[in-house]
Structure 1
Amino acid sequence: MFLFHNMALVPYVENAVPALAKLQNSSACFHFANRDICLAQDWRKLGVAAVVWDAAVVMCVYLELSQVELRGKVAIELGAGTGLVGIVAALLGAKVTITDRKPALDFLSANVKSNLPPDLQESAVVSELSWGDDLDRYPAEGYDLVLGADIVYLEDTFVPLMETLQHLCADTTVVLLACKIRYERDTNFLGMLRQRFTVTEVYYDKERDIYIYKARKQPSRSGL
């Protein structure tokens, strides 16, 4: 059986790795931004799109440490999955567009709706975004903050992901990527990113082996 997410065909084998057993739980609960957040998970139906990965948790820890200004900012989350990062960003004061591919949207929307209080429901919008496709649906250079947790893992997605980042980011936009560097290809993506963005490692969670990188678009050199 194979599961589809962000251009990825992911083999599904139940209990294949004991350490991944928590991903097969029907829910995952956290406490961020002074609120309990309980997210539905559905590994069997949606695979990687419907479980909380460590990178998302580490990103939320980083956001809660107030290392980046969120209040009043316009943010977008890429490859949101269960929506944890976008939910926490909204709770911390951002106006967030939370995106993923179409098959994950109903599941994602339910998690967002059930974890935001009534007065913040309008602070988060769930929207379909396949990297590199129909980017004109999103304002060019229109975001203060772009968030991505564990979205760097498939080489086939690197070029469309870069295209998407180029479209969404102004020179002032902050990109935050939470990554586990598993393979050489992950390092290769960071090399691609550094060709167009200034990239800095800003946080490392040793226990989970997750890095957070901050990137800013390099100013255009046209006219030089």
Structure 2
Amino acid sequence: MALVPYVENQLPALSKLHNSSVHFRFANHDLRLAQDWKKLGVAAVVWDAAVVMCVYLEMGKVDLKGKRIIELGAGTGLVGIVAALLGGLVTITDREPALDFLSANVKANLAPDSQELVVSELTWGVGLDRYPAGGYDLVLGADIIYLEDTFQALMQTLEHLCSDSTVVLLACKIRYERDTNFLSLLRCRFSVEEVHYDKERDIHVYKAYKLPINRDL
């Protein structure tokens, strides 16, 4: 998630975002995630899309055990932590200012000797050669498509990370026209289908595969 401070909002629905920590139970583990809205804004709170993504991963519809997984815009790290607990070999990424916060959540919720998860800096579209081209089985993103200015860089990043067999899972709330605009952009290079919808939270989960390049053109 990008580091974008939010103006203080008194709506009751947002009050949970100002809590210093939140608790969940996933993958037979009790998890405690620190939050820091005032310092890091949207990058440092658990959004509903992350929770729904974790619920979907627990359904077992995507094989995680031993799979090479990368999470984009990891924020608090909840999704990546759950993916690791479910057996994935996970790299969770975000921009540099969020890494200390992200690493602290990882250390608080995984065993000290855990080899299943690493934290790494990734600004979309920048320094992508540090990550293997097409080197991941699964790419995860929860609530990462809300800033239109980042769409091209995100697409560039997805195209670099994915092979034709890579599964992309994106969880999001369709709030504005720009959200559907990104899905239209994604469909230019990926096959996209909705695989889960959480009605209570109004969160969609999409699965995408990179389309093969037609070399006859």
Q: Is the 8 A contact 2:5 2:40 kept in 1?
A: no
Letter in 1 for 2:40: L
Aligned residue number for residue 210 of structure 1: 203
CA distance in 1: counterparts of 2:203 and 2:109, whole angstroms: 25
Residue 12 of structure 1: how far off its partner (Å): 2.4
Residue 9 of structure 1: how far off its partner (Å): 3.8
Task: Provide, for residues 24-55 of structure 1, a one-character-per-residue CA deviation record: whole Å limited to 9, x for no partner.
Answer: 00001000000001000111111101100000
Residue 170 of structure 1 aligns to a residue in which SS?
coil
Task: Provide, for residues 135-155 of structure 1, a one-character-per-residue CA deviation record: whole Å limited to 9, x for no partner.
Answer: 001000000000000001010
Aligned residue number for residue 132 of structure 1: 125
1:122 aligns with 2:115: yes
Residue 222 of structure 1: how far off its partner (Å): 1.2
Residue 18 of structure 1: how far off its partner (Å): 2.0
Residue 212 of structure 1 aligns to a residue in which SS?
strand
Letter in 1 for 2:173: K
1:107 aligns with 2:86: no
- Long gaps (5+) in structure 1: none
Residue 171 of structure 1 aligns to a residue in which SS?
coil
Residue 166 of structure 2 aligns to a residue in which SS?
strand
Aligned residue number for residue 55 of structure 2: 61
Quickly say closer, same or farther: Cα 1:185–1:168, change in 2 above 3 A. same
Letter in 1 for 2:33: L
Aligned residue number for residue 168 of structure 1: 161
Identity %: 72
Give the strand-richer structure, 1 or 2: 1
1:12 aligns with 2:26: no
Moved more, 160-169 or 214-223: 214-223
Q: Is the 8 A contact 1:131 1:160 kept in 2?
A: yes
CA distance in 2: counterparts of 1:11 and 1:51, whole angstroms: 11
Q: Is the 8 A contact 2:4 2:40 kept in 1?
A: no
CA distance in 1: counterparts of 2:56 and 2:4, whole angstroms: 30
Aligned residue number for residue 155 of structure 1: 148
CA distance in 2: counterparts of 1:68 and 1:117, whole angstroms: 24
Residue 118 of structure 1: how far off its partner (Å): 3.8
- Long gaps (5+) in structure 2: none
Task: Provide, for residues 107-163 of structure 1, a one-character-per-residue CA deviation record: whole Å limited to 9, x for no partner.
Answer: 0001011101245x2110000000000000100000000000000101000000000
1:72 aligns with 2:52: no
Count residues in correspondence: 217
TM-score normalized with structure 2 length: 0.97
Q: Is the 8 A contact 2:72 2:94 kept in 1?
A: yes
